């Protein structure tokens, strides 16, 4: 693993909430934000024990995290999550909608349950978390909302229609919300990574992995630390002129 860039206080004094932060990209973002000076709320289906690596990483950066166990597709759970975060830290400056699931299935054999679950976790959750935390950002005219989409939301993927639809959905949500709130101090953007080595990708079939690998101009899958700097940029002062964008650390899978 490549060592992270030295921290330089880019997020000093900020409060961030990262969903799906027990693992993969969310874990990388949560720990990097703490290293850059932020207090971090770690939200995940996972309990404290399964989120331990993230929580320990944040503590090692000198911050005491708040862990909230919640299903981000559940409206009541999301309201409780927001209330817990606001009670502990008084505000949330940066929301990272990262929690997501992938289940490979062709449309012809996809179950309604699979479709509904993927859309609920990957798209409905982004609406719910955003709606829960946006008002306090607007009150202060200050906030950043960053949603982890996917390059498959831009180009589609065989065996991934529900996933690609959910990710195209969050890109549309991002652009729409950016048009609603950017003049009121809240900046809204998305990141659409290419295939990144995380537990999510580990669930893919070998056939899917080798087909995808052959399509990638860079010739390899990406690493979490190759996505994290984009999330730091969008949360920090350097990201102040990004509005409704979808940034693509994707190994060349998509070139716009």
Instruction: Lay out the site mask for ligand NAP across 108-127 (x = CB under 6 A, - = otherwise).
Output: -------------x------
φ/ψ (deg, to 5) at 229: -60, -30
Among residues 14, 17, 26, 146, the one that binds ligand NAP under rule CB under 6 A: 26
40 binds ligand NAP (CB under 6 A): no
Alpha-carbon distances of 94 from 32, 71, 197, 221, 232, rounded to whole Å? 13, 19, 25, 28, 10
- Given a contact cutoff of 8 angstroms between Cβ atoms, the answer to whether 127 and 100 are in contact is no
Nearest by Cα to 82 from 48, 131, 124, 47 = 131
Among residues 17, 58, 73, 169, the one that binds ligand NAP under rule CB under 6 A: 73
Show contacts with ligand NAP in window 49-68 (CB under 6 A). none
State the DSSP H helix or E strand holding residue 75, giving kind and residue range, or none if neither: helix 75-89
Angle of the 112-119 helix axis to the 161-181 helix axis, nearest 10:
30
Give 4 or 185: the residue with its C-beta nearer to ligand NAP.
4
Among residues 11, 40, 72, 85, the one that binds ligand NAP under rule CB under 6 A: 72
Give the CA angle between residues 141, 96, 28 to the nearest 5°. 135
Show contacts with ligand NAP in window 169-228 (CB under 6 A). 193, 195-196, 198-201
Give 160 or 183: the residue with its C-beta nearer to ligand NAP.
160
Instruction: Lay out the site mask for ligand NAP across 134-173 (x = CB under 6 A, - = otherwise).
Output: --------------x-x-----------------------
Is residue 33 flagged as an active site residue? Answer: no
Strand-pair partners of 160? 105
- Given a contact cutoff of 8 angstroms between Cβ atoms, the answer to whether 1 and 225 are in contact is yes
Q: Under the rule (CB under 6 A), what is the footprint of ligand NAP?
A: 19-20, 22-26, 44-46, 71-73, 98-102, 121, 148, 150, 193, 195-196, 198-201
Query: Residues with catalytic annotation?
Result: 163
């Amino acid at each position: 693993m490549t060592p992270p860039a030295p921290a330089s206080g880019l997020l000093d004094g900020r409060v961030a909430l990262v969903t799906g932060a027990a693992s993969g990209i969310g874990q990388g973002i949560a720990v990097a934000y703490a290293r850059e000076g932020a207090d971090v709320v770690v939200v995940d289906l996972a309990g404290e024990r399964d989120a331990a690596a993230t929580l320990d990483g944040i503590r090692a950066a000198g911050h005491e995290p708040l862990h909230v166990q919640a299903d981000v597709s559940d409206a009541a759970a999301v309201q409780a999550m927001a209330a817990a975060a606001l009670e502990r830290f008084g505000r949330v400056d940066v929301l990272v909608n990262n929690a997501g699931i992938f289940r490979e299935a062709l449309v012809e054999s996809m179950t309604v349950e699979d479709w509904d679950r993927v859309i609920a976790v990957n798209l409905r959750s982004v609406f719910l978390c955003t709606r829960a935390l946006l008002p306090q950002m607007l009150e202060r005219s200050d906030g950043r909302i960053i949603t982890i989409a996917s390059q498959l939301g831009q180009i589609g993927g065989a065996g991934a229609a529900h996933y690609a639809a959910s990710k195209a959905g969050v890109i549309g949500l991002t652009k729409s919300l950016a048009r609603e709130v950017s003049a009121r101090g809240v900046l809204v953007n998305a990141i659409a990574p290419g295939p990144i080595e995380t537990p999510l990708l580990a669930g893919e079939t070998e056939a899917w992995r080798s087909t995808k690998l052959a399509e990638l101009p860079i010739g390899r899958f990406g690493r979490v630390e190759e996505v994290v700097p984009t999330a730091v940029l969008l949360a920090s002062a350097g990201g102040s002129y990004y509005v409704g964008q979808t940034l693509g650390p994707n190994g060349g899978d998509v070139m716009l």
